[in-house]
Structure 1
Amino acid sequence: MSEALAPLPRTVRFGVNHTPRQGWFHSWLDLDLDAVGEDLAAIAAIGADHVRIFPLWTLLQPNRSLIRSRALDDVRAVVDVAAGVGLDVVVDALQGHLSSFDFVPSWLTSWHRRNMFTDPEVVASTARLVGELTDRLAGAPNLLGMTIGNEVNQFSASNHPDPDPLSPSQAEAWTRTMLDAAEERAPGLLHTVANYDAAWLLDDHAFTPDQSATLGAATVVHSWVFDGTGQRYGGRSHEVAHRAEYYLELARGFSRDARRPLWLQEVGAPRNVLEEADVPWFVERTVANVLDCPDLWGVTWWCSHDVSEDLADFPPLEHTLGLFDAQGRLKPAGAAFRDAIAAAAEAPSPAPRGTAVELAVGEDPLLHRSAAAPGGSVFEAWMEASRAGERPTVHVLREHAQARAGDSRTGGAAATRAAR
């Protein structure tokens, strides 16, 4: 195993995923820039330096051959408002899924059903949207980059009610096409792919860890303790407090670039596994623990504002995830995040990590990812080492994976430890 590189001096970026307090993402239908500005000023006031915003695909491209110029102008206007309060912006270029609701344009549904990832006309039209949106934003000095969707990979998942099936090679080709469309219009920015954790933990998922850890300018993770961590170990457990840190180290294990940035692009405090009184503890511990991960680019909290109770059919937790309530008042979670940002300014750069927990995946990307999921052998070994104070990381072991195959949740995939 190669010798660990010395840590580089770094400043971690802190941001917030913006959920508009007025009208949620439906507010793009009748954009109120004054209300947006109030939201963004409140975010800046707690010490955040960037926001991630989510224009809806259905509004940007209501027909496969129609990209609405006015809708692109609206996105640029929000980016400019953010600049006015000192915030940089990341723009999600494809919004197919948000907070349990799908926003897939009508030209991909019912009588017009096509595979969004593999149909050549659909892929070309979608890439055109990514390119034209990026082009409209490229001159903004506060544009950090584009993200490709918000967990759009969920549309391919085997547990989706109406999946768009594809192979890993097709998933990689689609991702490259979308990222290239952004890079061509705004070269050198932080263009990334925003997959949810099935890419890392679901054995049969076509979007793979290797794709997330090699494509785009940074490796993005979305860490949610309602993935079984909170249910299995308890809301105030060591596993819950260290879940995001573990996920970042798992992501690092798949990187082929020793200095590739890691971005905790989504992390939140779900009240379906956390008691309200434990939320400030969770915010503080999560941030403090991920700061011990070398090469951390930033932490972007989910989310800015609670979803209003006036809106129907959301899962109950969506009405509670904000740092601010639906009236714009700072919540204890927001105060904890503000304090964590301030404390991070005094945090030292992390030393190289210690113990390496091995994850055997082989060259076949469909092998043994579930060993890394909550309850899996790799997850358990990492947490055991963490409790012992060993500051573990993950080493992805590709050799001999076939010979070591077995029940990945009971130790069939390697979970041995070796000093780095």
Structure 2
Amino acid sequence: MMSAHAPDPTGTRPVRFGVNYTPRTGWFHSWLDLDLDAVGEDLAAIASLGADHVRIFPLWPLLQPNRTLIRPRGLDDVRAVVDVAATVGLDVVVDALQGHLSSFDFIPSWLTTWHRRNMFTDPEVVTATAALVRALAERVAGAPNLLGLTLGNEVNQFSASNHPDPDAVDVEQASTWTATLLDAARQGAPRGLHTVANYDAAWFMDDHAFTPDQSAELGDATVVHSWIFDGTGQRYGARSYEVAHRAEYYLELARAFSPAPQRPLWLQEVGAPRSILEEADVPWFVRSTVETSLDCPELWGITWWCSHDVSRDLADFPPLEHTLGLFDEHGRIKGAGEAFRDAIAGARESTPPAPRGRAIALPVGPDPLLRRSAAAPGGSVFEEWMDASRAGERPTVEVVRESAEVRAGDTRTGGAAATRMGA
């Protein structure tokens, strides 16, 4: 298994390419009655694209149906899927807390209705979820094709102010929760790339308790999930420059918060939503996204969402969820899959990018909840970056941290209290 920083004697760039695995039969409900033969067929199809890893999503209520019950059979099923992936040459990232998938929430009954508790701050809940993460890590730690664990799929959305029933949390509590669960992953699997996967409220929503600094400092890589239905496609248009460069911008924004120059960046989710794109636009979008993302230093990998379309026999999904796959619900490769396969083949010969050009300043105050919206689609930083990119400057982002005195307009400092953290 290639290390995240392994040197490449050929001089080409060892970027990892993977796919988020959505089972063709039964979607994630297939964990209820796991069919390893069907899993093997799905994973072999993914491997045929030239992908080297998959990200898998065991459902939280099936692994931990009671706060003090972690099912050994459930853990064994996860390990079995990891082992099947090894037979077709795929490494695996295991997501621990599901959590939230394709608009559905999978929260165990001991956290809801009559047993409603805060998943981020209740001490007994945090202890229990850390125990699950540790047990899951221990069960898969011996697999030679394990890349690592991700704490869950966009679990931070449960704390967001726009969630219908948010779990209230502050910045310090969010940081403590993340660090606690990452420590549990490391205890269970000392070797591995363990990460937190926050959706973009952490980067763009001013009042969100999960912050860019947490994403960039906690865990072994900085993870981003880039979706053009975040306002980019709606505002600028499906075939716009902004859509083609959305993931590249997001990666450069994430790199600006990195505490270490060599910290890996992982585009862990990116997909082609037909709510924005016409089907004829999809191959262009796949190629453009891969090509522009490869121009980002420290890019560790690109993991596409997702492997297979959700079957139309399943009810109540948003329509776009039935169209996001690289393969259709019958296992046939789609135009998106062919484009991703070709992009992977082309990227194998890519060389590391040159240093980026002009840095676009992102001012942030002493309170990390302030000013993130300037970086969101339509914000001043986003607009300035896109204008510079369109002009050929290959811009990056630079975080400008202002002291309380500067934020308060203290003229005694003359702005000298601002400190800069280079990208």
> What TM-score does the superposition give when structure 2 sets the normalisation length?
0.93
Deviation, 1:61, is: 0.2
3-state SS of paired residue (2:245): helix
Secondary structure at the residue paired with 2:97? coil
Does residue 375 (structure 1) correspond to residue 378 (structure 2)? The answer is yes
Matched to 1:228, the amino acid is: G
Structure 1 position 173 matched with structure 2 position 176: yes
Identify which of 68, 76, 80 aligns with 1:77: 80
- Counterpart of 2:95 in structure 1 is 92
Note the 1:9-408 alignment, pairs <5 A: 10-400=13-403, 403=406
Indicate the residue corresponding to 2:3 in structure 1: none
Structure 2 unmatched ranges of 5 or more: 1-6, 410-421
- Structure 2 counterpart SS, 1:360: strand
Gap change, CA 1:383 and 1:204, over 3 Å in 2: same
**Helix, strand or coil: the match of 1:162?**
coil
Counterpart CA distance in 1 for 2:402 and 2:70 is: 47
CA distance in 2, matches of 1:134, 1:288: 34
- Aligned-residue sequence identity (percent) comes to 79
Alignment match, 2:4: none
1:13 maps to a residue whose letter is: R
- In 2: Cα distance, 1:299 partner to 1:339 partner: 14
Query: Is the 1:294–1:352 Cα contact (8 Å) retained in structure 2?
Result: yes
Does the CA-based 8 Å contact 1:360-1:401 persist in structure 2?
no
| Backbone CA RMSD of aligned residues | 1.7
- Aligned-pair distance for 1:401? 7.5
Q: Distance in 2 between matches of 1:384 and 1:332?
A: 31
Equivalent-residue separation in structure 1 for 2:286 and 2:179 (angstroms)? 34
CA distance in 1, matches of 2:140, 2:405: 47
Task: Give 1:301 deviation, angstroms.
Answer: 0.1
Note if contact 1:146-1:190 (Cα within 8 Å) is conserved in structure 2.
yes
Q: Deviations over 1:242-293 (max 9, x none)?
A: 0000000000011111110000000000000111100000000000000000
1:246–1:106 Cα change, 3 Å = same
Local SS of the residue matching 1:226? helix
CA deviation digits over 1:199-232, x for unaligned, max 9? 0000000000000000000000000000000000
Within 1, Cα distance between the matches of 2:360 and 2:404? 15
SS in structure 1 at match of 2:120: coil
Aligned length: 404
Provide the rounded CA distance (Å) in 2 between the counterparts of 1:336 and 1:91.
26
Q: Secondary structure at the match of 2:228?
A: coil
C-alpha deviations, 1:299-357, integer Å up to 9, x for none?
00000000000000000000000000000000000000000000001222101100100
Distance 2:157 2:404 in 1: 27
Maintained 8 Å contact 1:284/1:337: yes
* Conserved? CA contact 1:18–1:303, under 8 Å: yes
CA distance 1:401–1:202, change in 2 (3 Å): farther
The AA in structure 2 aligned to 1:47 is G
Contact 1:361 1:401 in 2 (8 A): no
Q: Secondary structure at the match of 2:229?
A: coil
Return closer, same or farther for 1:118/1:177 CA change in 2, 3 Å cut-off.
Answer: same
Over 3 Å counting, the alpha-carbon distance change for 1:228 and 1:402 in structure 2 is farther
> Could you tell which deviates more after superposition, 27-36 or 7-16?
7-16
How far off is 1:185 after superposition? 1.5
Do 2:366 and 2:403's aligned partners in 1 also have CA atoms closer than 8 Å? no
- The alpha carbon displacement at 1:405 in A equals 8.7
What CA deviation, in whole Å up to 9, does each residue of 1:56-96 have, x standing for no partner? 00100000000000000000000000000000000001111
**Structure 1 unaligned residues grouped into runs of 5+:** 1-6, 407-418
Secondary structure (helix, strand or coil) at the match of 2:92 reads strand
Contact 1:362/1:402 (CA < 8 Å) preserved in 2?
A: no
Aligned-partner Cα distance in 1 for 2:351–2:392: 18
**SS at the partner of 2:24?**
coil
* Cα gap change, 1:296 to 1:303, in 2 (>3 Å): same
Displacement of 1:362? 2.0
AA partner of residue 149 (structure 1):
G
User: Could you say what secondary structure the match of 2:165 adopts?
Assistant: coil
SS in structure 2 of the partner of residue 297 of structure 1: strand
**One-letter amino acid of the counterpart of residue 327, structure 2:** F
1:403 positional shift: 4.2
d(CA) in 2 for partners of 1:307, 1:140:
29
* Distance change >3 Å, CA 405–CA 391, structure 1 → 2: farther
Aligned counterparts of 1:386 and 1:274: Cα–Cα separation in 2: 22
Counterparts of 2:281 and 2:50, CA distance in 1? 22
Distance 2:379 2:405 in 1: 18
Question: Deviation at 1:402?
Answer: 6.9
Cα distance in 2 for residues equivalent to 1:211 and 1:400: 19
- Amino acid across the alignment from 1:344: A
Distance 1:88 1:331 in 2: 23
